[in-house]
């Protein structure tokens, strides 16, 4: 049997569940490599993937006999079949953080399940520790991102719009081996940089601009994430203390991150130093990524999470002054026994184009 499904079957057994309904497509992709609309049932005896006519052929071509997953067209399943899937199961797990309240009620009714129990992100928690192949994919996504940054530095010219720069990033990714974007690219220049989640506009890049570029790609389905804040022609004096404070803290967090470090402690180091300087850290210091751009754990002052070897996490402090400007610097990191390895390696000193 597929090793990940074998792991999940053992796991739910230990939690006194005799079956599970896996609905989150990202979890299904993680477990089976299937990329389609459908639902995975672990019943007492079988693993069943229920999909529809649009996907049957594609799903069959993704799976091998070793997966031991039976693929079924939803149209061939009767109400009686649904009721039999979990017959004699005392507890059946479901993903309470993915399944809507309406679906939860539908599952209860359709499968005639008495006790549909919460599984508390068991699959998402397993996904926190990346295996060798996952790390390779993320490293490759980060490498493409670094190369894209080098390219974009020579590409940007005064008079271009933020949108043009964002489009060039996307074009570069697609033509250089990435599957596509990991998330919508942020290119925020001048006062637009004061919005952490700015959407690229038709504003033209001008002399004296600060530009925040937050971008990442996917490689074999796995994400990268990097932010650099760069300057056009020169660095305005009033920006320098902010840039240096952000960079100092980004580097400080990077030095503290390692197997055994506690999420909130790392975040508090940065928050305290920002506060001393009369700034706030208005978002989390970082987040994990993998098949999704935001995964568990989060690096924040509210998280008790202990970091472990082979977790992937971003380190991205930022300071934003409404109506003026913002600075954010971000790397994707791999947590190791003795520290954190930078997977995005682009320069973080003042970059003036």
Chain residues in the site for a second copy (CB under 8 A): 35-36, 52-58, 94, 96-102, 104-105, 118, 167, 171, 174, 194-199, 280, 282-283, 320, 322-323
Choose between 36 and 156: whose C-beta lies nearer to a second copy: 36
Q: Which two tokens stand for residue 134?
A: 């996952």
Q: Which two tokens stand for residue 204?
A: 């033209």
Choose between 94 and 219: whose C-beta lies nearer to a second copy: 94
Tell me if 206 sits within 8 A of 290, measured CB to CB: no
Tell me if 340 sits within 8 A of 254, measured CB to CB: yes
Choose between 26 and 56: whose C-beta lies nearer to a second copy: 56
Choose between 27 and 335: whose C-beta lies nearer to a second copy: 27
* Residues 327, 310: Cα–Cα separation, whole Å: 29
Closest contact distance (angstroms) between CB of 288 and a second copy is 18
Closest contact distance (angstroms) between CB of 105 and a second copy is 8
Choose between 170 and 273: whose C-beta lies nearer to a second copy: 170
User: How many whole angstroms from its chain centre is CA 33?
Assistant: 17
Tell me if 252 sits within 8 A of 272, measured CB to CB: no
* Residues 209, 192: Cα–Cα separation, whole Å: 10
Choose between 198 and 226: whose C-beta lies nearer to a second copy: 198
* CB-count exposure of residue 46 (10 Å: 0-12, 13-18, 19+): exposed
User: How many whole angstroms from its chain centre is CA 287?
Assistant: 7
Closest contact distance (angstroms) between CB of 184 and a second copy is 9
Choose between 19 and 318: whose C-beta lies nearer to a second copy: 318
Tell me if 172 sits within 8 A of 148, measured CB to CB: yes
Closest contact distance (angstroms) between CB of 198 and a second copy is 7
Closest contact distance (angstroms) between CB of 201 and a second copy is 11
Q: Helix, strand or coil for residue 230?
A: strand
Residue 351 Cα distances to 209, 277, 328, angstroms = 12, 24, 13
Choose between 99 and 152: whose C-beta lies nearer to a second copy: 99
Q: What H or E segment, with its residue span, contains residue 188?
A: strand 186-189
Tell me if 290 sits within 8 A of 312, measured CB to CB: yes
Closest contact distance (angstroms) between CB of 233 and a second copy is 26
Choose among 254, 255, 253, 259: nearest CA to 309.
259
Closest contact distance (angstroms) between CB of 174 and a second copy is 6
Closest contact distance (angstroms) between CB of 248 and a second copy is 21
Closest contact distance (angstroms) between CB of 328 and a second copy is 11
Choose between 40 and 281: whose C-beta lies nearer to a second copy: 281
* Residues 249, 268: Cα–Cα separation, whole Å: 11
* Residues 242, 286: Cα–Cα separation, whole Å: 19
């Amino acid at each position: 049997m597929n090793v990940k499904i074998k792991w999940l079957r053992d796991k739910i057994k230990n939690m006194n569940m005799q079956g599970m309904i896996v609905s989150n497509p990202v979890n299904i992709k993680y477990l089976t490599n299937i990329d389609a609309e459908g639902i995975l049932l672990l019943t007492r005896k079988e693993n069943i993937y229920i999909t529809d006519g649009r996907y049957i052929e594609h799903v069959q071509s993704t799976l091998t006999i070793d997966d031991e997953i039976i693929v079924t067209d939803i149209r061939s399943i009767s109400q009686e079949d649904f009721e039999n899937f979990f017959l004699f199961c005392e507890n059946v797990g479901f993903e309470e953080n993915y399944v809507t309240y309406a679906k939860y009620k539908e599952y209860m009714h359709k499968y005639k399940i008495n006790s549909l129990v919460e599984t508390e992100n068991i699959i998402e928690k397993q996904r926190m520790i990346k295996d060798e192949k996952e790390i390779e994919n993320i490293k490759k996504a980060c490498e493409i991102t670094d190369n894209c940054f080098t390219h974009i530095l020579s590409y940007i010219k005064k008079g271009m719009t933020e949108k043009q720069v964002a489009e060039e990033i996307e074009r570069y990714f697609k033509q250089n081996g990435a599957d596509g974007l990991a998330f919508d690219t942020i290119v925020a220049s001048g006062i637009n940089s004061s919005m952490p989640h700015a959407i690229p506009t038709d504003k033209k890049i001008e002399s004296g601009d600060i530009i925040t570029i937050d971008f990442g790609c996917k490689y074999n389905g796995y994400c990268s994430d990097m932010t650099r804040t760069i300057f056009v022609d020169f660095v305005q004096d009033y920006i320098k203390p902010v840039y240096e404070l952000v960079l100092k803290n980004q580097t400080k967090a990077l030095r503290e991150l390692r197997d055994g470090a506690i999420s909130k402690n790392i975040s508090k180091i940065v928050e305290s130093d920002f506060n001393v300087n009369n700034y706030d850290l208005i978002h989390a210091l970082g987040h994990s990524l993998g098949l999704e751009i935001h995964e568990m754990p989060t690096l924040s002052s509210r998280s008790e999470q202990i970091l472990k070897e082979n977790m992937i996490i971003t380190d991205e402090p930022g300071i934003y002054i409404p109506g003026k400007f913002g600075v954010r610097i971000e790397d994707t990191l791999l947590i190791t026994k003795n520290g954190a390895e930078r997977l995005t390696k682009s320069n973080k000193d003042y970059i003036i184009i």
